Amino acid sequence: MSDIEQRLVTAARDGEWLVCAEDDDPVPADLIRDLLLGRHGDLDPAGVRLEGARIQGVLNLDRVKTSAGLAFSNCTIQKPIEARYASLPDLVFFGGQCAGIHADGLHVNGDLFLRNGVRFAGDHERGTIKLVDCRVDGDVDFRGVEITNTTGPALNAESLTVGGRVTLHQGSRLAGHSDRAAVSFNGARLASDLVVKATEITNDTGPALSIESATIGGRVRVRDGNRITSGGGAGAFLLGGTRVSGPVALADTEIISSCGPGLDASEVHIGGSLNLRSGTIITGHHKSGSLLVLDGRVDGIFEIIDTTVTNSDDIAVTLDRTQVGGSMAVFGQSRLSAGGDGCALSLSNVRVGGWFGCGESVVLEAKSESMNLRGMTVAGVVWLPHTGLCPDRGRGSTCDGTTRVRLSDFTYSSLSSMWHWEEWLHVIRCHTATYHASAYQRFAAVERAAGHDGTVRQILMAQQTDLRRRSPESLGGRLTRWFHWLWGVLAGYGYRARRTAAALALVLVAAGALGWWAGQVSTRPGHLVAERVATAPVGAGTPCSTVELVGLGLDRGLPLAMTGMRARCDLDTASRKGQAFTAAIWLVQLAVWGLATLALAGYTNLVRKPG
């Protein structure tokens, strides 16, 4: 046995570090295996600990089960460590370099530490560090490490089980080159937190960080200067299908994908809150969105604050069909920029248990729709940015602004007091791409619940006008559309009974005036268009009194109620002038019929429809 070998055996028995000098011989890898198997006697529980050593050969620990730990400090290990289905009290690396660790099924009773600038460089297609189906009862701590792989993942920890927490921090750098993720915790089961701080993760051809279908018993914190970049189509940071018991927080982190979503957390279930804040930047290139949370569930609040999300291809933020138990907010100096025909913020069929707010300082950049709130339900108050919907805060029925928002089937309990009802009505009729009745009906229901009945009538009348303007085909043919217009002018679509009554009174006045006028126009010498009939008590052909003439006009104009005046005074229909007055009376009668029908329709709600 050489001097270095004898020294290592002695140090292992005494629980001391073997400190090697530069001119020391390499340490045989087989000796380390023999020591852990007890072939050189009992070892101190501290185990085998080497500093500055060069390990010769392949350290094969496959299926080795030992009660002694293993630690390397500033050592050089030129071949990957093989530790499949091994069992160790702990495994620690401080500095140095190693070609990799292939340890599927490894069980570490204590902690797994890779710290103080240790470098792992390999070219294995399944991972430089491969911890698939491993179990670590303590913590996994990667501090200031560098892990690279030219043909595969840097860290493959799929189905890893950890009793403590997992941390990547203090300037760690992990780089892979594969269609698989550079760092993968897919299917992992972590009893506590997952923390990524001041770490750079890159993959030129696939995802950078993937934590899909995992179970995390604590929090997920990605913060303090991270950079996560991907060149693959799947996205840069994948969190889909993962269940997190606590909150998920991203801050001061840059996530970039050149041909996929930046952050894809579809079908995630977060027991706490989801917070994106403090300078987080997410850049993606994908038709579904750069920040993608489809069919997710967040039991707490959902915040996007001081965050920039950019997608040059399509939608910036897509949260469709996600359920949020608390409130949802987009505030601060956030900027959501969409490309193509995508919208800046898509919240289609989202359910929010609290309030929903989007601040005035938030920038929504999109060529088509700034916001898609179709089918969204908010249990509490809603406040939206005026500048993001109508830059001029208009209140009329026309607007030159091109900003669009989708409000079909958008349900909410009330609008913020910052919004005047006329401003919101202006947004509905001028800043939506197409007419949809639900936007008006929901707004009317909110105002009705607040006791603003006058406002409700204004909203519902504006709805009918917008229906005729933007969806005339839904009303039917030309005659029906004309009747709809007339109904609006004369009856306010059934919401202005006074206007109908005034029009009806005006028509009756016109009928009386026609009757009186007929008594002033002669047909031939000694005869008038309206004069006494032969059966009258006073001789036929004599002029009627003013009262009789007015009564004649009302009698002719009213379709049902008769005054009986025609028994004494009537029109001379044999003359052309009498026929003209008769035709005029018929038009008046038609107008009375129409107005009576409109009044009845408005009163009984037979014609009034949402549209």
| Choice among 36-40, 275-279, 590-594 with the minimum mean pLDDT | 590-594
Token representation of residue 160 = 């890893």
Contact at 8 Å (CB) between 569 and 544?
yes
Residue 563 has a pLDDT of: 66
pLDDT of residue 481: 86
Residue 17 has pLDDT above 80, yes or no: yes
Lowest-pLDDT choice from 33-42, 141-150, 425-434, 519-528: 519-528
Higher pLDDT, 533 or 355: 355
Cβ atoms within 10 Å of 321's Cβ, excluding its own:
18
Q: Is the pLDDT of residue 540 over 50?
A: yes
Q: Residue 527: what pLDDT?
A: 87
Average pLDDT of the residues in 61-83: 97
Unique residue bearing structure tokens 């200067």: 225
**Dist CA 90 CA 110 (whole Å):** 5
pTM comes to 0.85
Please list the alpha-helical segments (H only) found in 309-452.
386-389, 421-430, 437-449
* Token representation of residue 566: 């025609």
Confidence of residue 573 (pLDDT cuts 50, 70, 90): confident
pLDDT at 448 over 70: yes
β-strand partners of 468? none
Task: Work out the pLDDT band at 607, boundaries 50, 70, 90.
Answer: very low
- What are the two backbone dihedrals, phi and then psi, of residue 80, each rounded to the nearest 5 degrees? -60, 140
User: Is 413 in contact with 446 (CB distance < 8 Å)?
Assistant: yes
Q: What is the pLDDT of residue 437?
A: 95
CB 9 within 8 A of CB 42: no
- Tokens representing 180? 């698989």
pLDDT tens-place string over residues 74-97? 999 999 999 999 999 999 999 999
Q: Say if residues 404 and 432 touch (Cβ distance below 8 Å).
A: yes
Which DSSP state fits 566? G
Report d(CA 32, CA 59) in Å as an integer.
7
Supply the pLDDT for residue 593.
Answer: 77
Is residue 497 very low, low, confident or very high in pLDDT (cuts 50, 70, 90)?
Answer: low
- With tokens 């670590």, the residue in question is 136
Pure H helices in 408-521: 421-430, 437-449, 453-470, 478-491, 497-518
Coil/strand/helix, residue 356:
strand
> Residue 19: which residues within 8 A CB-CB, separation 6 or more?
51, 52
Beta bridge partners of 156: 130, 184
Please choose, from the candidates 233, 175, 177, the residue with its C-alpha nearest in 3D space to the C-alpha of residue 201.
175
As a whole number of angstroms, the distance between CA 365 and CA 344 comes to 6
pLDDT value at 611 more than 70:
no
Mean pLDDT over 563-582 rounds to 85
Instruction: Say if residues 176 and 206 touch (Cβ distance below 8 Å).
Output: yes
Q: In which band, very low, low, confident or very high, does the pLDDT at 538 lie, cut at 50, 70 and 90?
A: low
Confidence class of residue 564 from pLDDT cuts 50, 70 and 90? confident
Specify the pLDDT at position 609.
Answer: 45
Condensed to tens digits (0 to 9), the pLDDT of residues 105-125 reads 999 999 999 999 999 999 999
CA distance 373 to 375: 6
Rounded to the nearest 10°, the torsion over CA 367, 370, 375, 381 is: -170
Is pLDDT above 50 for 608? Answer: no
pLDDT digits (tens, 9 = 90+) for 475-488: 889 888 887 887 77
- pLDDT bracket for residue 592 (50, 70, 90): confident
